[in-house]
């Protein structure tokens, strides 16, 4: 609002500066003063309690453009400005009690019930404009009436009346055609008027014309029911999902398959999620790629293991499609793959793929042995004459040796009639020894031999060579 024609100049009338806190200024000039009209808006001057206080104590003089005013007149002058401002910007008591005004405070409305401890009544079905045998004249959109001929409720859509529902024994309505807007109850085929409601009697109206519920409170002063608010409790009472829009639950345009528009209600979003799970992502492959191609997923078996139960099926519980080449990326312990009909596991210690199936090759000899090749599966054939041939690439991963009595010697593993030892297992003054850290690669057609070396001889030496196939 613009500043009125009045001049408001503040002049210091004390030895000390006057601070006007709510205007954020300090009056220091005792001659020409401070022209507040040019610096502040009408509502700022009208609302300044600090300025009126300083004028009232005589610290500041107000000049109205023609003369300096006394403290009393200065306060009156500012008060008059404030009253004019209030009248221009706020409703007075009369206006607040007038129908159609906006921003009305409940306390200033005449003939309204006091809001206190509401006395709730049994819900009513509707506020009907009448209880009659035929349709009332001059209806409005949303009007409802109770027909006593066919015992139905009718609702008007702005053009026609249509049956809303059948009247049921014990149902209640607010009859607006009644002078006191009393509640009527349908009993044994007849509408019975109930006693007039007291002040603050409150009721839930199941349908007040918009097919939804509303809260009403009664004023016996005006014999009217006044709406408190629209509600929709039925959805909660009947376990029906309340519909929130996607933008209200922060999923609008956030995900590819759910809630892509602000108008999608929660029910639609849940439906989209269901469709996404059952149709768009029906396979583990899609779940695996959900975070992007190759993103992968981890199943945390904190309390129980993952169980693949095929006991009642003829299908295999798990299928690993053979790979033409061995995986080389993101290799981790425990990974499995199939190639050429063999199941392989990644050995992170030896950093290579090794078959899950292991083979055990046995070399040995009965009696005392000193510097001698050991026999193998062929019976009495010594390994210097032949050997155990590899069907495919392999890796020696362990040696385990045993003697009849304690002795000292070394199991030496050789291959292909070569003079060099490829790995060995020493036994020192004991009957046995073992080594599970061995990592010696063999290729197809290599054949293994074993020679026992001992300075004093050992009794009944036997060694087991563990191998795994290598792709």
CATH code for the domain of 368? 2.60.120
Please report whether residue 418 resides in a domain: yes
Please report whether residue 3 resides in a domain: no
Please report whether residue 103 resides in a domain: no
Please report whether residue 444 resides in a domain: yes
Residues in the chain: 471
CA distance 135 to 159: 13
> What is the separation of C-alpha 127 from the centre of its chain, rounded to a whole number of angstroms?
41
231: Cβ–Cβ under 8 A, 6 or more apart, which residues?
204, 212, 213, 214, 215
CA distance 201 to 95: 27
Per DSSP bridges, beta strands 172-175 and 124-128 are parallel
DSSP calls for 117-128: S-EE---EEEEE
Predicted local confidence at residue 1, as pLDDT: 39
Q: By the 8 A CB rule, do 78 and 4 touch?
A: no
Q: By the 8 A CB rule, do 360 and 398 touch?
A: no
CA distance 315 to 312: 9
CA distance 361 to 447: 11
Q: 208: burial class by Cβ within 10 Å (0-12, 13-18, 19+)?
A: buried
Same domain assignment for residues 205 and 262: no
363: β partners: 463
Number of neighbours of residue 179 by Cβ within 10 angstroms: 8
Same domain assignment for residues 50 and 143: no
Same domain assignment for residues 61 and 120: no
Please report whether residue 371 resides in a domain: yes
Joined together, the tokens standing for residue 448 give 């293994």
Same domain assignment for residues 389 and 447: yes
Residue with tokens 């809630």: 259
CA distance 467 to 251: 56
Predicted local confidence at residue 109, as pLDDT: 58
Task: Find the domain containing 47 and state its range.
Answer: 9-89
Please report whether residue 17 resides in a domain: yes
Same domain assignment for residues 119 and 215: yes
Choose among 18, 22, 23: nearest CA to 33: 18
Same domain assignment for residues 126 and 151: yes
Same domain assignment for residues 60 and 119: no
The helix (run of H) or strand (run of E) holding residue 225 is: strand 224-231
Name the domain count of the chain.
4
Please report whether residue 108 resides in a domain: no
Q: Per the confidence metrics, is the pTM higher than 0.75?
A: no
CA distance 272 to 255: 11
Number of helices (H) and strands (E), helices first, in the chain?
8, 28
463: Cβ–Cβ under 8 A, 6 or more apart, which residues?
362, 363, 364, 374, 399, 400, 401, 402, 411, 425, 450
Same domain assignment for residues 196 and 261: no
CA distance 341 to 322: 7
Joined together, the tokens standing for residue 243 give 């519909």
Provide the 8-state DSSP code for 417. Answer: T
The helix (run of H) or strand (run of E) holding residue 136 is: none
- The domain boundary residue, chosen from 43, 73, 89: 89
Predicted local confidence at residue 3, as pLDDT: 43
Please report whether residue 188 resides in a domain: yes
- Tens digit of pLDDT at every position of the chain (471 positions): 344 456 787 888 777 888 888 888 888 877 667 788 778 877 788 788 888 888 888 888 888 888 888 888 888 888 777 777 666 666 666 666 565 555 555 555 566 655 556 788 899 999 999 999 999 998 999 999 999 999 999 999 989 999 999 999 999 999 999 999 999 999 999 999 999 888 888 999 998 888 888 899 998 888 899 888 887 655 555 555 455 565 556 655 666 656 566 566 666 777 777 666 655 555 666 666 655 565 666 777 777 888 888 888 888 888 899 999 999 998 999 999 999 999 999 999 999 999 999 999 999 999 999 999 999 987 789 999 999 999 999 999 999 999 999 999 999 999 999 889 999 999 999 999 999 999 999 999 999 999 999 999 999 999 999 999 999
Same domain assignment for residues 231 and 255: no
- The domain boundary residue, chosen from 214, 236, 258: 236
Q: For 448-466, b where at least 16 C-beta lie within 10 A, e where not — what string?
A: bbbbbbbeebbbbbbbbbb
Per DSSP bridges, beta strands 440-442 and 60-63 are unpaired
Torsion of CA 364, 367, 368, 369, to 10 degrees: -20
Same domain assignment for residues 269 and 232: no
Interaxial angle between packed helices 71-89 and 49-56, expressed in degrees from 0 to 180 and rounded to the nearest 10: 160
Same domain assignment for residues 458 and 393: yes
Same domain assignment for residues 127 and 225: yes
């Amino acid at each position: 609002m613009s500043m009125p024609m009045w001049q408001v100049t503040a002049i210091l009338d004390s030895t000390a500066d006057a601070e006007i806190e709510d205007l954020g200024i300090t009056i220091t000039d005792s001659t020409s003063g401070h022209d507040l009209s040019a610096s502040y808006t009408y509502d700022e001057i009208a609302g300044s309690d600090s300025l009126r206080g300083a004028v009232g104590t005589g610290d500041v003089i107000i000049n109205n453009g023609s003369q300096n005013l006394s403290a009393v007149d200065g306060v009156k002058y500012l008060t008059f400005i404030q009253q004019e401002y209030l009248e221009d910007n706020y409703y007075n008591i009369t206006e607040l009690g007038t129908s159609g005004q906006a921003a009305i405070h409940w306390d200033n409305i005449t003939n309204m019930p006091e809001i206190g401890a509401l006395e709730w009544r049994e819900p009513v079905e509707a506020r009907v404009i009448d209880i009659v045998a035929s349709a009332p004249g001059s209806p409005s959109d949303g009007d409802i009436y109770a027909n006593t001929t066919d015992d139905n409720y009718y609702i008007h859509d702005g053009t026609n009346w249509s049956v809303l529902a059948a009247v049921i024994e014990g149902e209640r309505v607010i009859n607006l055609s009644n002078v006191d807007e009393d509640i009527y109850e349908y009993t044994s085929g007849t509408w019975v008027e109930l006693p007039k409601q007291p002040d603050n009697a409150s009721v839930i109206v199941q349908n007040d014309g918009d097919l939804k519920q509303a809260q009403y409170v009664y004023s016996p002063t005006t014999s009217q029911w006044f709406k408190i608010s629209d509600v929709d409790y039925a959805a909660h009472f009947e376990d029906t999902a309340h519909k929130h829009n996607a933008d209200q639950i922060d999923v609008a345009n956030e995900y590819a398959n759910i809630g892509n528009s602000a108008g999608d209600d929660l029910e639609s979003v849940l439906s989209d999620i269901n469709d996404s799970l059952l149709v768009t992502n029906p396979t583990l492959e899609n779940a695996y790629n959900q975070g992007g191609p190759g993103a992968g997923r981890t199943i945390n078996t904190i309390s129980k293991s993952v169980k693949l139960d095929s006991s009642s099926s003829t299908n295999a519980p798990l299928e690993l499609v053979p790979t033409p080449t061995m995986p080389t990326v993101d290799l981790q312990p425990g990974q499995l793959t199939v190639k050429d009909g063999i199941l392989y596991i990644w050995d992170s210690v030896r950093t290579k793929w090794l078959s899950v199936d292991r083979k055990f090759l046995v070399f040995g000899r009965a009696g005392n042995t000193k510097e001698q090749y050991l026999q193998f599966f062929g019976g009495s054939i010594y390994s210097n004459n032949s050997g155990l041939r590899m069907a495919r690439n392999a890796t020696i991963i362990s040696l385990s040796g045993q003697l009849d009595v304690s002795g000292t010697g070394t199991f030496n593993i050789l291959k292909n009639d070569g003079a060099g030892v490829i790995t060995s297992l020493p036994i020192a003054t004991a009957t046995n020894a073992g080594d599970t850290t061995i990592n010696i690669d063999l290729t197809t057609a290599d054949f293994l031999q074993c020679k026992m070396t001992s300075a004093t001889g050992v009794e009944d030496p036997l060694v087991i060579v563990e191998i795994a196939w290598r792709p």
